[in-house]
A and B are shown apart, each in its own frame.
Chain A
């Protein structure tokens, strides 16, 4: 189980208090109804899924209830940093696993992205 530091509560708490909310810094177009199918696909379905440094959203659902972002290594699961929503993506840590597929071609995030609902796959056999 991960230990996650909530940047609002300023405390490290067990993963059970949190809900992962998918990739961070994915900008939703302010004119979503007008964008092309390709742009919508890139926004809604395409994901970086990096092996290495990942930027992701978490919600402290059983704590303060707020969304925040984290920078983590997806190979070791070690957190480098958690930071408040709206803050800029931190620079890549030096000690990280080489980011194999993390070439992030997304535009810069606008401030205050709206939360998206997300379901986690449960697993089948």
Chain B
């Protein structure tokens, strides 16, 4: 891999940009690998990268049925934060935030991590109580999060309407200053390039159609649209399709897959300095470096793999955006799309070994997995390499739905689940 630097740009500028390499190679699959990762999204590619970098395992294939980063990695609203309530959540999401800081240097790829601050709005007494509880829980876990008055919130984000007679009056807010955004495509591409440079095979347009198991139940490899590929360890990182893949290994999952939508406006000059989330009225908004307002909507109420969703879900979110930011009422929306998110009963992910020897699963990130990409890949690589979880993901087992040791962000998170 030729390193990217200012000197490389200057050199290539002198010779007509003819010397740039492909960012990752597209090799033919080998008959057998040490580890197969199913799914070349951010989490899967990060897993392969950290397996190669931290654990010395480079004989890895990342299989992707479509194109790299074309699932939820390329469809989310790129928000990064770690102000979750429970200790387990604080552990993994803040692990990720620490890795985001410095990821561009680590990968030699600009992922455009921008800690511009994530502000969450309170509109009623209940919100105030819940969000203040989060501030205190976060601070006990060493995570920055602070309480703001409406006037402080307005000063931090001038487009916000804090009028007392607003339909959704702002009565307070929390701010995590280390929260922010990153360029989602660059995260997938950066991990792919860095993993490929360490010898990882990234095989696109290769759909897994079956999981082969030996007589003792252990994993032997996977059937794919490009033939059988052997491996003693298989990591499933297939987001909305995780339960489909796990079913191939006869593991029934506590997952349901829903469409989640997002949309962007026409690009405008810099107007929106941070990320604002309101769980009560359900609106998430930030501005990309391209200038588009990036707006996250909710999930549809029914299970679907359609990668689309109902228009009423989008208009519901836009109603709220227009009420809170009246200056955006005449903005035109350019594009909307959907991704399929896999949701667990307690809204916390599953990052664990499975009842099948050699089969590992990283799923259930639901509606908010992008922020965890580096941390998730880092601890999942550890789980696969050592056949036991890292202490950060020790609680994210599949068995917790049997034992009752839930990580119940569903009821408690800083999001309105």
Contact = CB atoms under 8 A, between A and B. Distances in A.
Interface of A: 1-2, 15-16, 19-20, 22, 37-38, 40-42, 44-49, 51, 54, 56, 72, 74-77, 100-101, 103, 105, 119-125
A46 B252 contact: yes
A122 B243 contact: no
A22 B44 CA distance: 29
Given A2-B310, A15-B310, A49-B257, A124 B301 contact: no
Interface of A (DSSP majority class): loop
Contacts of A77: 302, 304, 306
A75 B312 contact: no
15 contacts: A19-B301, A37-B404, A41-B401, A42-B252, A44-B401, A45-B345, A46-B401, A47-B253, A74-B257, A74-B303, A74-B306, A101-B243, A101-B244, A120-B258, A123-B415
Nearest to A118: B301
Contact of B310 (A1, A56, A100, A101): A1
Nearest to A78: B306
A47 B310 CA distance: 23
Contacts of B345: 44-45
A20 to B, nearest CB: 4
Highest count of chain A CB atoms <10 Å: which of B279, B298, B303? B303
Contacts of A51: 241, 244, 257, 305
4 shortest A-B CB distances, which residue pairs?
A124-B368, A101-B247, A125-B284, A45-B254
Given A2-B310, A41-B401, A45-B401, A122 B416 contact: yes
Highest count of chain A CB atoms <10 Å: which of B260, B301, B367, B404? B301
B366 interface: yes
Given A49-B243, A49-B255, A121 B299 contact: yes
Contacts of A22: 256
B398 to A, nearest CB: 10
B306 A124 contact: no
Given A19-B301, A38-B402, A125-B76, 17 more contacts: A15-B310, A40-B402, A44-B401, A46-B254, A47-B243, A47-B252, A51-B257, A74-B257, A77-B304, A77-B306, A101-B248, A103-B247, A105-B252, A119-B410, A121-B341, A121-B343, A124-B413
Nearest to A19: B301
Nearest to A105: B252
A10 B404 CA distance: 42
